A and B are shown apart, each in its own frame.
Chain A
C-alpha cells in the first residue's frame, strides 16, 4: 500500500503467522512482530486476536518493545478485560522500576486501560507514583488520576486521590502543577458543585508563579484555571492582570487567547476610570491583531473570538479596522469572518473606507462572500446613520450591475433600510421595480413585495405589480405567499377603490386553496378584520412598526457574557454555550462574568421579528375613511349571514363579498358625513349575527358610540364675539350681526337680527352658498314672530357639514343669502376654522409621531402669535376646549413644545407644533395638514394658524 510490509493487510493467515512470530524465541523476531501488530493497529485494523501473545512480550527489558506492547494494551484491553488482568503484575512491577521513564510509561498506560476490574489493583502503584521523586512520573500520575476518575469516580474519591492531586498544585515543579491543574479542572467540571479547585489568593499566587516556568501547554491549563477565579476586589484583579499580560507576547496563539480570556474577565472588575484599565485596553489590541498573521485555521479561530470581544468591548479594536480588510488569498471562511467584524467596527469615522472595501468585495467571485458583502453594506446603513445615503447609492450602483444574486441581495437589504429609515429613500423604489422580473429567490421576492405593499400609495401601479405576483401564487414559497397576502391587504387599505378584486382574490387563494396553516390563518385573520372592523384592521395592518436597529444581529448579552468566559475554546468558535454541543454533565455549568464596577453598559438586543406581516404594517394615518369604513361595517353585517364558529370558508367569502360590494360603493360615493348612515346601520342590527362575530362587532360598535359620546364634550370652545355681517344700510334696514360657535359638538350660527327699518319684517329664510366644508343649515331659520321695528331677535341656527362643497377664497368664507318679506340680501362672513374641529381629533401618540415625520416639509407653515400671556398648560387647556388636542409636550431649552392634533369635519387631520417660551408672550405655531387633498393648501395653513391665534386670545 504505502510504505513497507508493515502496512500489509491482516488476514486470517497473517494473524496466525504473527502469532508464531510473537511466540518466537528470538528477541529480534519478536520485536519485529510486535511492530507489525502495532502498525496494523494504528491504521485501524483489528488485531485483538493476538492479545495474549502480545501481553506475553510485555516482560522485557527493552524499552522500545515495552512501549509498543503498552500501546497495544491501551487499545485492546477493554475488549479483552479478563486477559488484561494478566498485565497487572507487570504494571505494578514497572511502577517500581528504577528508570523514571518506565515508571511514567507504566502509570500512563495503566490509566488508559479502561477496565473496571483492573482499577483496584492500580490504586497502590498510582499513589506511589503521585509522590514519586521524579517530576516526570508525578506529572504523568496527575493525568492518570483524571483518567481513573473518568472510569470510576467513586474510587478516586474514596482513595483520597483528589487531596493528593490538590497537594500537587503546590508542587515545586511547574509542569506537575500544570498537569494537576488540568486534571482537577476536568474533574471539577463533572462535579459542578464540588469545591475541588478551591482557589484562594495563595493558590492563585502559586499558579501565577508556575505560569512563568512551565511549558506552553501548561500555561494554557493554568490560565484556563485562573479564568474561573473571582478576585475579591479590583486591586487583586489588577495584580493578576499585571502578571498575566506578558503572556500576550507568547508565540503560541492558544496561550495568547487564554490570556485574553483571563484579562477580559478580570477587566470587568476594574473601575473604568482607572489608568490601568486604559493601559490594559491598549495592550489587548496588538496581540489580537497579530493572531491574524497566523495560519488560516488559527486566524479563523481568532476572528471568531475577536467577534465576541468587539461586541463586549468595541473600544479595544476600534482603530484597527484596516487589518480586517480581506486579502486575496484568504480562505473563504476567513473572509466571511473578517467581513462580520468589519461591520461591527464600522463607525462614522471609518465608514467611507469600509464602504469602498465592501463595494470591491461585491465584485468578487465567491457567491456567498459577495452576498455577505452586499448585506454588509445594508448593515452599515443601519448602523451608521450618516452613511445611509451613501450606502443606498452604493446599493443602487450594484443593482445596475444586473448580476442576479447581487440585485436580489441588494433588494433584501434595501427593505431593511426602509425599515430603519421610513419615508426617506422611497425614490429608489422605481429602480427596484425595474428588476422585478429577475428576482427568483424567495427572500428577494418577499422583500420586494413587502416594499410594494408598504409604499403602495407611492407606486402608481402597485396593484399591477402585486397582481403579477399573484398569478403564480401557489408556486411561490410560503415566505413570499405570506408577504404577498399582507402586501395586498395593505394596498387595499390604502387604495380601497381599485383593489377590491385583488384582495378578494388573494384572500380566497390564501384561505381556500392553500394547505399551509400559517397562510390560511393569516388569511382568515385579515378577512375577519376587514369584515368586522375595518378601522381596527387599519390599526393592526398599518400600525407603526418598531424601527430595526443594528443590535439585531448582536449576540444576546447573557450569552455573550458566557461566551467571553469561554474565549479560546470550542464554544467561542461555535458562538454557542458548551451545553449546546457537549453531551452529558461535562462543562454544562454556566460561567458568568464577575459583577463589575461598570457593567451598566450591557448591550441591549431588542427582538425585532421581521417575518410577521401584522407587526410589519406601516405607520400611516389615512384621514376621512374611519367613519366610512364604519359604513362598511354595517353594510357587511346587515345581510343575515349564517356563519358559525368555526366559520366555513364559503360563509366567510360571502361576508367579504358584501364588504367589498356594498361597502365600497358608498365609500366611492364620497359620502363624507357618515353619521346618518351610521345611525341607520346601528338601528338595524343583523338578525342572525354569527356568534363568532359578536364580540368584535360589539367592540367596534362601542368604539363608534364612544365616538358619538364625544358629542357631549365639555363646553368652552372658542367662539368669536359677534360682528356685524350685514349692515342695515345695505339690507334695507335689516342688520345682522353674528358669530359661529361649536356647542355640544354641533356647529351653530348665532345671529342677532335687528330691524332698523320702519316696517315689520316677516318670512325669514336663510341659505348658504356652496362652501369649502359643505356647511349647510340643519334646519330652517327659526324666527317665529314678525320682527317689529327697532326690535332685535337672537336666532341660533344649527349647521351641518353635509352640504355641497366648493373651495372658497379665503377658505373659511361663507356666502349667505337671507330672505325676508322685503327682499333677498346677500352677505359673506368668515367662520373660525376651529368650530370645524371635531371632538375625536385626538390622535394616537405613535401615529402622531410617525405622521409628523411623514408629512413633507412643504406642507408646513409657521406663524407667530403675539402677546399671549398664557403658559403652556393654560394654552393647552384652552386649546383643548376648541378640540385642539395636545398629544405630547416636551421642553427643549426653556421652550415648551406642544404637539397638537385636530381633525376637521371632513376628516382632514392637522398637526401643529406650538412653541411657548416662558416669559415670552410670542408663540410660534407651525401646522402641517396631512394629505392636502381637497382645498387645504398653503394659504389654508395660514388660516389654521390664525385660528389657533384667535382661540388663544
Chain B
C-alpha cells in the first residue's frame, strides 16, 4: 500500500510529509523534489519510478501531491483527489494555507491508515476535526452502512437543489466534418433534508422508458421515444445503491448532507447542438491577424440562453486587439491570452458576430501558433418537470435550479485553421445540447 505521502508547494517546499511504511526512506521526499518538481520540464508521466520507489503525483493549483510506494499497489490517485476534495470542502479552496499541520495531520491520519485508504467522506471527516468533546456516534457512522450521513440532522426547511452541468465535446476535422460529439454531464445536488430521507430518482433513460412502454402503457410509445435519451454510461456517488440500479434502473439513495456530485453520465447519440460557432481566421502579413466569429443559436423557442461567454484564444505575441461586436461586450484579456466575449442572453435562431483585428509582435519564433480551440459557456434555464408524477409529501419546497451548460469545442479550431493557413478558417460548430436529461424527482 501507500508507503508515504508528501505534499509540496510549487517551490518544492514540503508542506506535509507522512511516512506510513518503513520501506519509504526519508530521502524519498527529496528524490521526488529533485526529479519531478525541480526538473522544470513537462510531466511525461504521472507515475514515476525514482530509485526503486514509485511516485504517483498530481498537481492541483500550485500544490504537488505525491504518494510513494515500493509495492504493487492499487491506484491511489483517487485517494489523492479525495484528499484535495476534503481540503477544499474544509477550507473552501486548495492553497498552501490549507496544509497547516494541525488539521491535516489529523485528516491524513484518518484518510490513510498504514497506507490503506480508510475514509474519505467529507462530512464524516469534518466531524473528526471539529469535534471538541467526545462523541462516540462518529465511530458507528464511519463504519456503518451509511458512512456519509450522520443521524439526527434537522432542518426547518427541507430543501433539495439540483444542478445539471453538461459539457459538450466536439471534435471536428479541418474539412468541417464532425468526427465525434459527446456530452458528459454531472448532476450536482445540494440537499438540506432532515432525518434519514430515502430519495429516489428516475430518468428518461431509453432503457427505462422502453421497459415501461412494454409494461402496458402503449399510448406513450410515440412520445417516449422522443423524450428518452440513450445514456451510454453513468457513474454514481457512493451513496447510490448500485445493485438496485443494475437491476431496476432506479436511482435510490440516502443523500449526504450538503453538496455532492450525485452522478455523472455520458451520451453520444442524437446530440442536437444548440449553437453554431463559425470562426474565420485570416493572417494578414506577419504582424496582423483578423478573426471573425459568428455564433448562431439553434434551439427551441421556449428556451433562452443566458450569460453566454465565448473564449477566443489569441496568439502569445499579441500586442493589441481591436474589437467590434454586434451584441454584448468583448474584451481582450492579456493574462489569459484570449478575447472574452460576453452576451447576456440570446433567444432562439438568433445570430451574433464579433470581429477582431489582432496586432502581433514580430517574433523569430518559428513555432507556429497552435490555435487552441474556442470555448463557450452559457446557461439555460430549463424547467420541465412532470408535475403529476411528483409525489413529494413531507417536504415543503423543492427548488429547481438552473441547468448550466458548458461548451468546449475541442481541437477543431486548431485543425480548421491549421490546415489552410492563409485562407479563411473553416466553419466550426461548437455548441451544447440543452435538454438531455429530464429528471423526475420523487422525494419520499
Question: Interface residues, chain A, CB within 8 Å of chain B?
Answer: 1-4, 6, 35, 38-39, 42-44, 63-64, 67-68, 71, 99-102, 104, 108, 111-112, 114, 134-137, 139-140, 143, 146-147, 150, 173-176, 179, 182, 186, 212-213, 215-217, 220-221, 224, 243, 245-247, 249-254, 256-258, 286-287, 289-290, 293, 295-298, 300-301, 322-323, 325-329, 331-333, 353, 356-357, 360, 363-365, 566, 568-571, 573-574, 578, 581-583, 586-587
Contacts and interface: CB of A to CB of B under 8 A. Distances in A.
Interface in B155-205: 169, 171, 173-174, 179-180, 182, 184
B234 interface: yes
Contacts of A297: 46, 56-58, 77
Interface residues of B, number: 97
Contacts of B140: 134-136
Contacts of B109: 67, 71, 108
A62 to B, nearest CB: 10
Given A254-B75, A581-B49, A101 B136 contact: yes
Nearest to A368: B44
Nearest to A223: B74
Contact of B235 (A39, A43, A249, A583): A249
A3 B205 CA distance: 51
Contacts of A328: 370, 372-373, 410-411, 414
Given A67-B106, A323-B180, A569-B72, 13 more contacts: A38-B105, A140-B113, A147-B114, A217-B116, A245-B246, A246-B242, A249-B246, A250-B238, A251-B236, A290-B233, A293-B184, A329-B373, A333-B44
Main secondary structure of the interface of A (DSSP, over half): helix
Interface string B85-129: 000000000001100111001100100011011111100000000
Contacts of B52: 581, 583
Contact of A99 (B26, B134, B245, B246): B134
B143 A173 contact: yes
B147 interface: yes
Interface stretch (B13-21, B294-302, B319-327, B383-391): B13-21
A249 B73 CA distance: 22
Interface in B218-249: 232-238, 241-243, 245-246
Contacts of B139: 100-101, 104, 134-137
A253 B143 contact: no
Contact of A582 (B18, B70, B132): B70
10 contacts: A42-B16, A139-B143, A251-B237, A252-B78, A286-B232, A328-B410, A364-B370, A365-B367, A570-B54, A570-B69
B1 interface: yes
Given A3-B100, A286-B232, A298-B78, A582 B47 contact: no
A574 B134 contact: no
A360 B173 CA distance: 9
Interface string B51-69: 0101011100000000001
Contacts of B42: 331-332
A243 B235 CA distance: 17
A623 to B, nearest CB: 51
A538 to B, nearest CB: 47
Contacts of A581: 49, 52, 54, 72
B145 interface: yes
B102 A35 contact: yes
A578 B54 CA distance: 12
A251 B410 contact: no
> Closest 6 A-B residue pairs measured CB to CB?
A286-B233, A136-B139, A578-B72, A246-B242, A246-B246, A328-B411
B288 interface: no
A325 B370 contact: no
Given A100-B136, A136-B143, A332-B44, A353 B179 contact: yes
Contacts of B232: 286, 289-290
B22 interface: yes
B282 interface: no
Nearest to A586: B71
Contact of A146 (B15, B18, B73, B114): B114
A685 to B, nearest CB: 63
A327 B411 contact: yes
B105 A68 contact: yes
A247 to B, nearest CB: 6
Contacts of A245: 246
Nearest to A288: B233
Given A147-B114, A290-B266, A333-B43, A215 B54 contact: no
B261 interface: yes
Contacts of A253: 75, 77-78
Nearest to B262: A251
Max chain A C-beta neighbours (<10 A), residue from B15, B45, B56, B74: B74
Given A249-B234, A365-B370, A574 B81 contact: no
